[in-house]
A = this chain, B = another copy of it.
Amino acid sequence: MQPEEFRHRAHALVDWMADYLRDVGSLPVTPAVHPGEIRDRLPVAAPDRGEPFPRIFDDFRHLILPGMTHWNHPGWFGYFPANNSPPSILAEMLTATLGAQCMSWATSPAATELEQTTMAWLAGMLRLPPGFTGVIQDTASTATLTALLSARECAAEGTRTVYASEEAHSSVDKGVKLAGYGLEQLRRIPTDTNFAMNPAALDRQLTDDRRAGLVPACVVATVGTTSSTAIDPLPAIGEICRRHGVWLHVDAAYAGTAAIVPELRAMLDGVEHADSFVFNPHKWMLVNFDCTAYFVRDVPALLRTFQITPEYLRTSADDGAVNFRDWGIPLGRRFRALKLWFVIRSYGLEGLREMVRRHVALGTAFAGWVEADPEFELLAPAPLGLVVFRHRPAGMTDAAALDAHNAALLARVNATRRVHLTHTRLGGRYAIRLAVGQRCTGAAEVALAWDIVREARNQVVAGS
């Protein structure tokens, strides 16, 4: 395809893209397909001859699109959001066109320096204390593994142990396993009634493990847990980590974005004790996935863990410049700083704060409706737009029955395909999660979600 054909095709795509951004709210949030259905419609082998682009684009619209879950639908309340935004999409268009490989400073100088700049901007926006240096990684899972590997590198020899609350994300389990600690060396610390880590329990476990001759290597504290956005108390945990000489990694994957709002920044108090910190601009900060911001205090420890420099990667700039390939697992790296730069500049700090405030207020409103209805139960505080609740019909007290009832209710809600919510277990109970955080979600969609939940309640009660 020559540049002029590309120009022609790309203009057509742009019109489709703008239409999609405008109209996505009118599509079903999730597709009505069963596993294997789409694959069955696709040829089993690659074509020998090239095909004209219009045919390929037609197939995208008629075979692929109807099988997609629309994460950027205003009725998206599942998991945590994976937002994109028009400025971020524009940046991705340029990144794809340059096709630059940002492994070393010399292989993409401007990309490396824009990454340094935007990471410093983020540190300032979150008011991280001085001493943190940032790098973009793909996901928080990878960043947490990076922290666990660095902590392993810094720990004494012996049987090393890792600590996280019962509510910490599954990426901690995965990282502990992959980094070779062994899952049996992960201590799950109990939480309080708000599902935040109990620091006294952490202190006791660390003390006991030391006495038993183990080597505590890393504590993972969570700011904004996946199930309920619980906030582990960083000041107390940080003090304990310092006293025990243990690496403290703070996982604020979702909630980190909210720390740009002054009245919400208190959740990061104590982050000055952290050795590493991660949050995902690709969740709530309108930056296309993937863009994880990983901040670390001891850069030499990071480099000791990851740096390998064969002759064919040496450049004349190695002494005076940062080579981000040594700051994580992959060698090759996309130019991800560009979308961060476009988004922060397009919205400005105030624009991003306004969005966070709007989402949090909408979550608070929904939580209020849940609390005001005697048949519904709020299962956790909702400080950051995530509402965790269940339906408790009068007279239904059996735990298993309540779980099954709420699973049926959620299935009914999602079967409308007008909104999409997901679930978790919290304090042993099946819980419905409504995460308000999609860029376009407004009061209308949140009200619609509540209507659909109550309608589904009526149907499930009538049907049971």
Beta-carbon contacts of A131-163 to B below 8 Å, as 1s and 0s? 000000011111001000100100000000000
Contacts of A193 in B (CB 8 A): none
Closest to A152 in B: B180
Cross-chain contact A49 with B350 (CB below 8 angstroms): yes
Cβ 8 A contact of A106, one of B69, B309, B321, B342: B69
Residue from the list B34, B68, B96, B344 in contact with A288, Cβ < 8 A? B96
Contact of A349 among B46, B179, B312 (CB under 8 A): B46
Query: Which residue of chain B has its CB nearest to the CB of A319?
Result: B35
Copies in the complex: 2
Q: Which of A20-72 contact B (CB under 8 A)?
A: 20-22, 30-31, 33-39, 42-51, 53, 56-57, 60, 63-72
A288 engages B99 (CB within 8 Å):
yes
Contact of A6 among B21, B39, B101 (CB under 8 A): B21
Decide: A142 and B330 in contact? CB cutoff 8 A.
Answer: yes
Asked, given contacts A51-B348, A56-B342, A345-B51, whether A173 binds B308 with beta carbons under 8 Å apart, the answer is: yes
Chain B residues with Cβ below 8 Å from A83 are 99
Find chain B residues with CB under 8 A from A50 CB.
Answer: 345-348, 350-351
Are B35 and A320 touching (Cβ within 8 A)? yes
Segment 211-252 of A: residues with Cβ below 8 Å from B: 226-227
Q: How far apart are A99's CB and chain B's nearest CB, in angstroms?
A: 3
A96–B101 CB distance below 8 A: no
- Known contacts A174-B308, A345-B50; A114 and B82 CB within 8 A of each other: no
- Within 299-316 of A, Cβ neighbours of B (below 8 Å) are at 305-306, 308-314, 316
User: Closest chain B residue to A14 by CB distance?
Assistant: B10
- Docked-complex contact A114 and B42, CB < 8 angstroms: yes
Contacts of A14 in B (CB 8 A): 7, 10-11, 14, 93
Distance of A178 Cα from B147 Cα, bound (Å): 12
Q: Chain B residues with Cβ under 8 A from A53's Cβ?
A: 87, 90, 346
A365 at the interface (CB under 8 A from B): no
Bound state CA distance, A95 and B67, in angstroms?
A: 14
Q: Does A86 contact B (CB under 8 A)?
A: yes
A117 at the interface (CB under 8 A from B): yes
CA distance A35 to B69 in the complex (A): 43
Tell me if B124 and A45 are in contact (CB < 8 A).
yes
Q: Which of A197-205, A262-270, A376-384, A420-428 touches B?
A: A420-428
Tell me if A459 counts as interface (CB < 8 A to partner B).
Answer: no
A450 CB within 8 Å of chain B: no
**Among all A-B residue pairs, the 9 with the closest Cβ atoms:** A67-B110, A180-B180, A84-B99, A7-B18, A92-B96, A6-B86, A35-B321, A50-B348, A3-B22
Can you report 13 residue pairs joining A to B where beta carbons are below 8 Å apart? A6-B21, A14-B93, A35-B109, A35-B320, A39-B117, A56-B341, A72-B98, A84-B97, A88-B96, A89-B99, A140-B331, A312-B422, A329-B329
